[in-house]
Amino acid sequence: MKLYWSYNSIPELADLPKEKRKEIWKSCCLKCFANFPFWCSTKNAIALVWLVIVMPLVIYYSNHHMIGLIGFVLVGAIIGFILWQVEIALVKPYIRECLNSNVNTN
């Protein structure tokens, strides 16, 4: 499985100019999340639970508050990275569809 660090590293978008890449990414994200409202709400719920519940618990139960904060940031970054990979996997078919339709019309 290939890991993508940003939408610039997606092979389908790599050869496009920056403005076009950003435009296609935004339109495809909107199409994807319009068809997956559950995913959109799940992603927001995970972020909310992480911020409201997990952070205070980690800081409260750790003897050293700085260690708890560092652990919170690290685990949050890992979860964010995993969610980003899932988001790209969901959006990539829409990117291909958008690029194929643009090629056919031009």
* pLDDT at residue 1 greater than cutoff 70: no
In a domain, 5, yes or no: no
- pLDDT tens string 9-55: 888 888 888 888 888 888 888 887 766 655 655 666 677 677 677 76
In a domain, 11, yes or no: no
* pLDDT at residue 106 greater than cutoff 70: no
Handedness of CA 73, 75, 77, 79 (dihedral sign): negative
Q: Could you give the count of Cα atoms lying within 13 Å of 24 in the half-sphere of its Cβ?
A: 26
Q: 45: domain range?
A: 16-105
In a domain, 33, yes or no: yes
Q: How many domains does the chain have?
A: 1
In a domain, 10, yes or no: no
| C-alpha span between 74 and 64 (Å, rounded) | 16
| C-alpha span between 4 and 10 (Å, rounded) | 6
- The model carries a pTM of 0.66
In a domain, 67, yes or no: yes
| C-alpha span between 48 and 62 (Å, rounded) | 21
Q: Could you give the count of Cα atoms lying within 13 Å of 41 in the half-sphere of its Cβ?
A: 5
